[in-house]
Structure 1
Amino acid sequence: MTNSAITTTDTKDASLTTEQLMTLNEAFAADPVLKRTQNAISRVSVDDLAIDRHLATVLSTTVSHRIDDWKVTNQKKSGRCWLFAALNLLRVEAKTALNIKEFEFSQNYPTYFDKLERANYFLQSIQETADRPDDDRLVSYLLQTVMGDGGQWDMAVNIFKKYGAVPKSAMPETESSSNTGRMNAVLCSVLRRGAQELRRLSCAGDSERQDRAKALIIADVHRILTLHLGTPPTLIDWEYTDDKKVFHREGMLTPQDFLAKYTTLNLEDYVCLVDDPRPEHPKGSTLTVEHLGNVIGAAPVLYLNVEIGLAKRLAMEAIVGGEPVWFGCDVGPQMVRKDGLWDARLFDYEGLYGAKLTMDKESRLRFGDSAMTHAMLLTGVDVFEGQTRRWRVENSWGDENGDQGFFTMADNWFDEYVFEVVVNKWRLDPQLRRALDAEPVILPAWDPMGALA
């Protein structure tokens, strides 16, 4: 519809009037409760007024089954939670194999290769969409989301399988790995300019110049990443002293050898279960998202859509069996960060504002009010008479909040705000395992299930 189709009468009837605003102001001023609430909100945090103090107090932080006996990690000012959570899962085995209680894989190492691979993946997507106009929705979305820090479980697996992993000492954090904003902004500009050039050459039909231009763009990205993050090691002269004061000299290892030597998890056996509550995506079906990935030629991001109750049961079984669980959620709602608590009823914003805010999980997903924003590790669960009651969570925000960085999640919060858990596919029943081989429903790139944790 063009602007000329909107009549003057339509615009006039839709506009806010002075009389309407006066009525609203008079009603507000006449309500003493609103005046007192206004005074309070102007001086203290709204969360301090909306919180259910009783609920925050009685939410126990103990669990019947707990795995963790280590310190949390810290992603600092970066969005690498998905990589931190994946490496935190892998380090459980590595700590045992090395006999070192406090061990960390380098988070900087997979960050480097994820960004390099993602640049290549982006440029490939730009070439595949070169016949579309600049303002096409998909092209616009690709240009908007070109280079962030977020990711998904399958994207982490792609990096580990291709590049392995190294101890933190082999590629420690840098200022830019812990504070990625400026580096990402520069990379975005380089890649968007590169996209412009590739689209221009594609219109001219010059494939040879396209290949040369792409190689030069990748070289620029490589140079920038290496300046910011350092040069990734190709060999590690690995020596260490374990917790029994025994010295080990392992010699030269490639990153692939290091990961294989100290972890035994078959990453291909793990599947990402999601709770997509929209009925057009049936439970028991597989889903994928167009242009979501990082390594060209690697396995695509694949989700198996299941009921949230099943996801909880399988996560519980894994933890009871001694295995932590990678999961993705909408981290912000109903959270007290300082105390490290989540409960779906922790804050009564409706009562405070006098406005209806409640939406169910499906509606929040459809209308942009909720999506996967953060990934962490489930390291404990409280089980009573076969039912889960609360969960212990290893976050990657340092040790200043919660129980030295570990958070407590009420079971009702899991229902509402957890969207995905990763479990071994052999925990699934045969019907769901067979579903993994079916052709997935392909969601558009901008679908909320394509959100990056």
Structure 2
Amino acid sequence: MSKEITANLVKNFSKKVQELPQSQVIKDTIMKNGIKASTENNASVVAMNHVFSHEIDTGKVSNQKQSGRCWMFAALNTFNHKLNREFKLKDFELSQNYTNFWDKFEKANYFLENIIATADEPLDSRLVSWFLQTPQQDGGQWDMLVSLIDKYGVVPKQVMPETFHSSNSRDLNSILNLKLREDAMKLRKLHQEGKSDEALQPVKEEMLEEVYTMLVYALGEPPKTFDFEYRDEDNVFHREQGITPIEFYNKYVGLDLHDYVSIINAPTADKPYGKTYTVQYLGNVVGGKPVKYLNVDMDTLKGLAIQQIKDNQTVWFGCDVSQASNRESGIMDTAIYDYEKAFGFPIHLSKADRLDYKDGMLTHAMVLTGVNLVDGKPNRWKVENSWGDKVGNKGYFVMSDDWMNEYTYQVVVHKKYLSDELRQAWDQEPIVLKPWDPMGSLAIMK
């Protein structure tokens, strides 16, 4: 058999396609409407009912617009739910732009420190190339959010509202990454000239001053103190003057984020269940909270999420939203598109194979706000997204339990829900994964 594509081979393929009686109809339909519209399964649309046996009232959804801050929006949304409920507020939001400013500033420092630490590595090494590929970006992970809150607190959206570049981040990211690559070049050259790491710190500080200026011009300058004024649903006016962002977090949000743990499901051979993992060079704040995961089977992961929902607390979760989902209708279901019937052959990888063969990773973070239990077992989940109220059911999505099994990789739950066995597993020293491991991917979907 020839290793090349021959004319005869193509002729045989063409003949087989033309012999199929349905080929012309399928071809015309897909060419006119696209693969997804042509293969949408109406039975899935009917089954994905936006009604749930256990549901948390969470109000209006937020909108990250043209930015990859889903992980940040999802985390702050869980805080918003608590604030709205406890202080009788309606559709109150914390400032995503405030957290975004500090995230980008800290990521710049994190990148430059890693460039200094690896200055002896060849420029074309896989590690240095990996750093330079994306010096900073919008994406993130739960533990990265914890590091930001620990250091900077939060503020109401009114105090630091959205700007053009917080909502449309592409150009800002482009120019920031250009500057950081230039800075990386300068730092590496100074190291080659014999400058010590200590001597490079004042140079790095000058670089950070320039980054800070860029961020202030694009995003505004974060407040050091502010006045918090609001009128609650009982029409009572409240005012607190001169409060700092950390004081505001402690008083009004009041969650100890170090009581929350990241539970993942990565069913690959290199990651046994019952072990903890971290990812080398994954973070944003130098000296911040290290990323840490506990890997468990899906039944355990879902059981923990259900316990937290039953306690009326929403759940941050990470998934691969681009797979088997309809953005407009807000349906996430493995049966939503029937590719096999259209093409005549299955197109499928297992969850483990998708991770191993680069087809699956955590691309988006959202919030679980409900679950539908039948005889104690979930068959669908309610999801709060951060793409505004023009998609799904006023911004809310419905996720089948099969989709949850296949495409959800992470939930964050309070450690009080862990069994004794899981607590012991969590206390283990984490196994260190390479920076390019799929568990090192960042939630960044727009």
In the TM superposition, what is the alpha-carbon distance from 1:234 to its structure 2 partner?
Answer: 0.6
Secondary structure of the residue aligned to 1:375 is strand
- 1:248-397 equivalent positions in 2, closer than 5 A: 248-397=238-387
* Contact 2:380 2:401 (8 Å CA) reproduced: yes
Quote the residue 2:65 is aligned against. Answer: 76
Larger CA deviation: 347-356 vs 38-47: 347-356
* Contact 1:87 1:105 (8 Å CA) reproduced: yes
Which consecutive segments of 4 or more residues in structure 1 shift more than 4 A? none
Quote the residue 2:141 is aligned against. Answer: 152
In the TM superposition, what is the alpha-carbon distance from 1:411 to its structure 2 partner?
Answer: 0.8
Which of 126, 129, 134 aligns to 2:118? It is 129
In the TM superposition, what is the alpha-carbon distance from 1:209 to its structure 2 partner?
Answer: 4.5
Which of 416, 420, 431 aligns to 2:421? It is 431
Q: Distance in 2 between matches of 1:144 and 1:368?
A: 17
Using structure 2 for the length normalisation, give the TM-score. 0.96
Q: Distance in 2 between matches of 1:231 and 1:264?
A: 25
Quote the residue 1:451 is aligned against. Answer: 441
Which of 30, 37, 49 aligns to 2:26? It is 37
Secondary structure of the residue aligned to 1:16 is coil
Q: Distance in 2 between matches of 1:452 and 1:143?
A: 16
Partner amino acid for 1:233? P
Quote the residue 1:65 is aligned against. Answer: 54
Quote the residue 1:27 is aligned against. Answer: 16
Partner amino acid for 1:27? K
In the TM superposition, what is the alpha-carbon distance from 1:190 to its structure 2 partner?
Answer: 0.5
Q: Distance in 1 between matches of 2:33 and 2:417?
A: 48
Larger CA deviation: 219-228 vs 443-452: 219-228
In the TM superposition, what is the alpha-carbon distance from 1:281 to its structure 2 partner?
Answer: 1.2
Quote the residue 1:105 is aligned against. Answer: 94
Larger CA deviation: 410-419 vs 201-210: 201-210
Secondary structure of the residue aligned to 1:291 is coil
In the TM superposition, what is the alpha-carbon distance from 1:57 to its structure 2 partner?
Answer: 1.5
Q: Distance in 2 between matches of 1:143 and 1:179?
A: 22
Q: Distance in 2 between matches of 1:215 and 1:141?
A: 23
Quote the residue 2:237 is aligned against. Answer: 247
Deviations 1:181-228 (A, max 9, x none): 000000110011111111111122202552232112211211111111
Deviations 1:292-315 (A, max 9, x none): 000111121100101111110110
Deviations 1:107-166 (A, max 9, x none): 000000000001101111111111111111111111112111110000011101100000
* Contact 1:73 1:398 (8 Å CA) reproduced: yes
In the alignment, structure 1 residue 223 sits paired with structure 2 residue 227? no
* Contact 2:332 2:399 (8 Å CA) reproduced: yes
Quote the residue 2:184 is aligned against. Answer: 195
RMSD (Å) for aligned C-alpha atoms: 1.4
Secondary structure of the residue aligned to 1:168 is coil
Deviations 1:260-315 (A, max 9, x none): 11112110000000001012211110000010000111121100101111110110
Larger CA deviation: 31-40 vs 263-272: 31-40
Q: Flag the 1:355–1:214 CA change in 2: closer, same or farther, 3 A.
A: farther
Between Structure 1 and Structure 2, how many residues are aligned? 442
Secondary structure of the residue aligned to 2:158 is helix
Q: Distance in 1 between matches of 2:344 and 2:328?
A: 27
* Contact 2:58 2:369 (8 Å CA) reproduced: no
Q: Distance in 2 between matches of 1:77 and 1:172?
A: 15
Using structure 1 for the length normalisation, give the TM-score. 0.95
Larger CA deviation: 101-110 vs 53-62: 53-62
Secondary structure of the residue aligned to 2:120 is coil
Q: Distance in 1 between matches of 2:171 and 2:153?
A: 27
In the TM superposition, what is the alpha-carbon distance from 1:178 to its structure 2 partner?
Answer: 0.3
Partner amino acid for 2:280? E
Larger CA deviation: 95-104 vs 410-419: 95-104
In the TM superposition, what is the alpha-carbon distance from 1:378 to its structure 2 partner?
Answer: 0.3
Q: Distance in 1 between matches of 2:139 and 2:129?
A: 19
Quote the residue 1:7 is aligned against. Answer: none
Secondary structure of the residue aligned to 2:72 is helix
Unaligned segments of structure 1, at least 5 residues: 1-11
Quote the residue 1:422 is aligned against. Answer: 412
Q: Distance in 1 between matches of 2:49 and 2:406?
A: 19
